[in-house]
Chain A
Amino acid sequence: MIKRFIDWADQRTGCRRIVHEALYENVPGGARWRYVWGSTLTFALAVQFITGIFLWMAYSPSSQTAWESVYYIQDEMRGGWLLRGLHHYMAQAMTILLVLHLMQVVIDGAYKAPREVNFWFGLILLQLVLGLSLTGYLLPWDQKGFWATKVATNLVAIVPLIGPQLQKVIIGGPEYGHHTLTRFFALHAGVLPASITALLVGHIYLFRRHGITAKLPKRRPDAMFWPDQVLKDAVACLAVMAAVLLLIVKPYLFGHHDQLGTDLGAPADASESYSAARPEWYFLFLFQFLKFFPGGTEIWGAIIIPSLVMLVIFVMPLLGRWRLGHRFNIGLLFCLLAGAGLLTYLAKAEDRHNENYVAAVKEAEHDAERVRVLAKSPAGIPSSGAVTMLRNDPLTQGPKLFAQKCASCHRYDGHDGTGRIPKNPQSASDLKDFATREWLTGLLDPEKIATTNYFGATTHREGKMAKFLKKDVASYTPEQKEKLKAAVIALSAEAQLKSQLAADQHGSALIEQGRAAIQNDLRCTDCHQFGKKDEDATAPDLIGYGSRRWLISFINNSAHEEFYGKNNDRMPAFGANQILTEQQINLIADWLRGSWYEPSTQMTKGAED
């Protein structure tokens, strides 16, 4: 039955002959492991085509949907992490296989006449595959791909004569945007794969036309391609697939169960500088190479020298006609690889010792994790794109703004909010846990108020409040101390902090006692106003102390008479003098008050189900 069908098909298509020709190619000297590289590359390419087409069905190339659709594939669609992981790591494997294939061809002299044209086909294929890597890196539209690709396309502008125009055409306009993605995607999924397929057909045709270049001396008698060499090829492909799968599940083996597959950075944001931008590891050597060319001479590092190197590789078959030329080719190839290896090592080593880079990578990882938490929030991703979630997130923006605008005087748990220690010495309070019971207990402690974490480095160190604490509070009776404790609880309750919500609800009786103590027993209202308006108040308002409204007004202008008035010590009027926008002040205030979106434990459980 099957035979009859095959006969029928064969009469009409000649398929037997094709299959026979494909499988019964003569392999001079028998099957060898060194011949597997071409097959592994073809296999890797096939995997890329299959996974790529499936990814295509869920990918949406525009600046508001590219990251979002990739996130959706990765985190929400079943099996998406595996599909993306396969595509990502197989691309990396391809780069390695390309180098191995090239080395085998040059070392075995398989480029020599009459196989020059096929060698050139191979070199063009190599460049096209690298083109796939370059265009694919941008498509997730995350910070990493965005900034790294920007460097690459900015280098296009230094091409003589047509550079700027060429750059505009490539990125689809003067700036990165929708058309950068549509163009890169069309190149990545259309133009380049089609060109590669066409060239690969030619490459394999020419290879079959001239046959395998046998590695001499022949160890065994000639054999057929099937099944010996096919089996070796299959085992090599299996090893490639195993390596790729291992890379995909690597995070799982190290306990990061939620990060299977490949990573996805925070969504691209042109307004958010990204000092961790680096190209993919296999382009790092070029990146490092560029550092050696001072301003104005980049064209040598980016275009002229790489082009010359490519040119030399192109003429290798001609040089290889002479024995010395062949040796030169092999030597050159090893030198180039060693050079690229050294440059890659230098780039990595330099980054490892660069504090700024290390911190930026950490921050980038933090942002990437955070944006996924926000994407899973009940509000979901707004149609303006995931990037707006991060821009409006106090937990993300608060520390960055604090580091830029506040940390030259203040501290947050001893650092600048992002974990770095600022160069300027601390000259104002540490605002970690600001307005909490703990923080206020410290502020009202005669021993602590003069430390740098409170008023120590400010003029308030000698102010009325400090004097009052040292003179009066220091000699409080146990009964008065209890009242002070209640006052701290009452004052802290004014802030309505998320972290103390439950404690404030339970302690309402104590809060009432504390309020009475502030208003009557403890003399707070001699200078502050609390509970009711007081025109004569000279110290910061305690009505709603630490609340969102209070903190925003305070940052807006701490020298306002509601707060320090003329006693204000150096703190700029951030809002009134337009140092920060209203939104930025809101973000800092919300961050200091600890109010940002957190998934409730129940929610997380639901998401996992």
Chain B
Amino acid sequence: MNDPCNSSPPVGRRNFFKSLLATVIGGVLGIVPILAGLEVFLDPLRRKAGAGSAVHIAALEGLPDDGVPRKFAVLANRVDAWNKFTQIPVGAVYLRRTGDQVQALNAVCPHAGCNVDFLQQRNAYLCPCHNSTFTVAGRIGDPSSPAARGLDSLDVEIRGNEVWVKFQNFEAGRREKIPVA
């Protein structure tokens, strides 16, 4: 027994079956709590993001017709695990009115998801995280910007004097605009 690495364990058919049985039982026992835990852990995969629905953002009359973007909070109902919230801020959009046309851009940078700022003196959007720049229309400004696509435009609907936007978030870091599901 001086060198346990070389001492051989008892062998035999009986011992082999015992070893096999002990291993199988041990494996089954170990797997029960792990599987139960994993099922709960992976529960988020079953949860879907709400499909983008039209949200009332602002009054058309209150939106100056000067082509300068203005930031608005988006209020919507949100389910957060066990809580259901009604009309809480879920994001932000920039609205830009030129004539009767209103353009809506999601304020989230498509690179890594920070919120962009509109800088009036440069007439451009700047992401404070990795310095992506976007033109006032939302297209990529500086070609060396790390963002793979321009700011995400959102569908706008004018209902009388009200500006409604179909609010949606899109997956960050991709060239294509894919809604978060």
Q: Which residues of A contact B (CB under 8 A)?
A: 10, 16-17, 20-21, 23-24, 43, 46-47, 50-51, 53-55, 57-58, 65, 68-69, 71-73, 76-80, 82-83, 86, 223-224, 226-228, 230-231, 234-235, 237-238, 241, 245, 375, 378-383, 386
Contacts and interface: CB of A to CB of B under 8 A. Distances in A.
Interface in B33-54: 33-34, 36-41, 43, 46
A368 to B, nearest CB: 16
B32 A86 contact: yes
Interface stretch (B3-11, B109-117, B144-152): B3-11
14 contacts: A24-B9, A43-B29, A51-B33, A54-B38, A58-B40, A68-B82, A77-B43, A80-B40, A83-B36, A226-B9, A237-B26, A238-B28, A375-B82, A378-B84
Given A223-B10, A228-B18, A382-B83, 4 more contacts: A24-B4, A51-B33, A230-B26, A231-B25
A78 B85 contact: no
A228 B19 CA distance: 8
Contact of A50 (B4, B33, B46, B84): B33
Contacts of A245: 32
A83 B25 CA distance: 20
Contact of A51 (B4, B9, B36, B46): B36
Given A17-B4, A227-B18, A83 B83 contact: no
A235 B26 CA distance: 9
A50 B34 contact: yes
A214 to B, nearest CB: 19
A375 B79 CA distance: 13
Given A17-B4, A43-B29, A71-B82, A51 B19 contact: no
Given A227-B22, A231-B18, A375-B82, A79 B29 contact: no
Interface on chain A toward B: helix, strand, loop, or mixed SS? helix
Contacts, number: 115
Given A379-B84, A380-B83, A381-B83, A54 B36 contact: yes
A580 B146 CA distance: 65
B25 A51 contact: no
Contacts of A83: 33, 36-37, 39-40
B21 interface: yes
B123 interface: no
B16 to A, nearest CB: 9
A375 B28 CA distance: 36
Contacts of B40: 54-55, 57-58, 73, 77-80, 83
B131 interface: no
Contacts of A86: 32-33, 36
Contacts of B22: 226-227, 230-231, 234
A16 B7 CA distance: 11
B98 interface: no
A249 to B, nearest CB: 13
Nearest to B4: A20
A45 to B, nearest CB: 11
B18 to A, nearest CB: 4
A65 B80 CA distance: 12
A83 B15 CA distance: 35
A223 B14 CA distance: 14
Nearest to B77: A380
A348 B160 CA distance: 71
Nearest to B26: A234
A16 B5 contact: yes
Nearest to A238: B25
A21 B4 contact: yes
Contacts of B38: 54
Nearest to A235: B25
Interface in B43-71: 43, 46
A574 to B, nearest CB: 33
Nearest to A71: B82
Interface residues of B, number: 32
B19 A226 contact: yes
A71 B82 CA distance: 8
Contacts of A82: 36, 39
Contacts of B83: 68, 380-383
A18 B34 CA distance: 25
A378 B46 CA distance: 20
A51 B79 contact: no
Given A231-B21, A238-B29, A69 B81 contact: yes
A486 B22 CA distance: 80
B84 A380 contact: yes
From B15, B25, B82, name the one whose CB has the most chain A CB atoms within 10 angstroms: B82
Contact of B29 (A16, A51, A241): A241
Contact of A224 (B9, B21, B36, B39): B9
Contacts of B82: 65, 68-69, 71-72, 76, 375, 380-381, 386
From B38, B41, B83, name the one whose CB has the most chain A CB atoms within 10 angstroms: B83
B25 to A, nearest CB: 4
Interface string B70-109: 0000000001011111000000000000000000000000
A171 B28 CA distance: 40
A21 B5 CA distance: 10
Given A17-B4, A231-B22, A224 B29 contact: no
Contacts of B39: 78-79, 82-83
A237 B41 CA distance: 25
Nearest to B27: A234
B8 to A, nearest CB: 10
A51 B10 CA distance: 36
Contact of A53 (B10, B37, B46): B37
B50 to A, nearest CB: 14
A224 B43 contact: no
A234 B25 contact: yes
A69 B83 CA distance: 10
Contacts of B9: 23-24, 224, 226
A21 B19 CA distance: 16
Contacts of B19: 226-227, 231
A54 B9 CA distance: 38
A241 B29 CA distance: 7
Given A230-B22, A234-B25, A10 B5 contact: yes
Nearest to B34: A50
Contacts of A223: 10
Contacts of A234: 21-22, 25-26, 29
Contact of A79 (B26, B43, B81): B43
From A55, A68, A383, name the one whose CB has the most chain B CB atoms within 10 angstroms: A383
Contact of B25 (A73, A224, A237): A237
Contact of B37 (A10, A54, A224, A227): A54
A103 B85 CA distance: 55
A387 to B, nearest CB: 13
A20 B34 CA distance: 26
A234 B15 CA distance: 15
A78 B4 contact: no
A238 to B, nearest CB: 5
Contacts of A231: 18-19, 21-22, 25
A431 B46 CA distance: 48
